[in-house]
Homo-oligomer: A and B are copies of this chain.
Amino acid sequence: MATDKPMQLGMIGLGRMGANLVRRLMRDGHHCVVSDVNAAAVAELAGEGATGADSLRDFVAKLDKPRAVWLMLPAAIVDSILDQLEPLLEPGDVLIDGGNSYYRDDITRAKRLADKSLHYVDCGTSGGVWGLERGYCLMIGGEDEVVAHLDPIFKTIAPGEGCAEPTPSRSRTDGTAPLGYLHCGPNGAGHFVKMVHNGVEYGMMAAIAEGLSIIERADAGKSRQEVDAETTPLRDAWAYQYDIDVGEVAEVWRRGSVVGSWLVDLIADAFAGSPSLEGFAGRVSDSGEGRWTVLAAVDEGVPAPVITTSLYERFESRQAGEFTDKILSAMRSEFGGHAEKKG
């Protein structure tokens, strides 16, 4: 590769994702000016060819006009950085939020910045730590001309056509979706699609995880069962006598099966490295998009029980349902004098 339209891009936020975006851009011939609160992160990328900046003022000064500034920051601090940048920028400059902002904030910000003739682009970025090599799937919201202007940047960051077979029935020859990036609509549309993407991700992950757990417990009939009024004896213990290697199941599903997916690739890799998943505590975080997807489903009146349930499973994994459980125990105790089991 090597883009035929090299551009300059400023990057603020040199965490895992930001730094790798810079590397991927530079490899393809673009030039990057970089800024971070962590001077070592700036120095490292400067050593790889980027132009380092030691302050936001310095950063802005080093960018050609109209400036293109990409923010790769935790959603919670985007607005404070925008507040600092705003007075330094000039009409026509473009701000790209490549993080996980709530799409409603994009709408608000874009309006506010438009008052100062600044342009705003929201860009949902998927790909995780593997994106440097694989490329990142980009879901973009913003004004047509502004998004078009940035096209060489998006093209470089995205995976490109080769990473998947062409879609057989596809006849349209326009559009960038087959290259791995898509202008989804006006401001907010990019992060809206990314938000739902993550909701789908939660649901797919949960389906895979539940399935593998059912396979792992295919030996349930081997446990001795207590006999009392409170415990359900397993009626068909003979049917649950299997010791199945869950990691090998994940591995075999990677090839030719209907569930073949990057997520199955990843869990096969995790089992290859840690056959019993030792070292994973199972307290699963959720970082906003899953919750917002549920809010959108409810607002739209679209049933989304699978995605929602996968979100609640994460809450449960962090014992957030503890009070609910206590209430259930208390009710059972009231009506049945049910003594609680310890295990």
Contacts and interface: CB of A to CB of B under 8 A. Distances in A.
Contacts of A241: 186
Interface residues of A, number: 180
In this complex, which of A102, A204, A227 has the most chain B Cβ atoms within 10 angstroms of its Cβ?
Answer: A204
Contacts of A103: 239
A254 B167 contact: yes
Interface in A215-230: 215-218, 220, 227-230
Contact of A273 (B136, B169, B240, B309): B169
Interface string A199-210: 111111111111
A180 B127 contact: no
A239 B107 contact: yes
A5 interface: no
A101 to B, nearest CB: 12
A143 interface: no
A95 to B, nearest CB: 19
Contact of A324 (B170, B213, B244): B213
A37 to B, nearest CB: 13
Given A167-B254, A287-B232, A214 B242 contact: no
B205 A270 contact: no
Interface string A327-340: 11111111111101
Given A214-B300, A266-B335, A238 B128 contact: no
Given A76-B233, A227-B76, A311-B298, A258 B327 contact: no
A323 to B, nearest CB: 5
A192 B159 contact: no
Interface string A67-109: 0000000111100000000000000000000011011100100
Contacts of A197: 211, 253, 257-259
Contacts of A134: 256
B200 A328 contact: no
A158 B303 contact: no
A335 B129 contact: yes
Contacts of A266: 331, 334-335
A318 B244 CA distance: 23
A49 interface: no
Contacts of A16: 337
A130 B235 CA distance: 30
A321 B283 contact: no
25 contacts: A76-B233, A102-B235, A103-B239, A107-B239, A134-B256, A139-B249, A167-B265, A175-B251, A180-B256, A201-B258, A203-B204, A217-B323, A234-B299, A236-B299, A258-B263, A258-B335, A259-B261, A263-B331, A280-B326, A281-B342, A283-B341, A291-B298, A303-B315, A305-B305, A317-B321
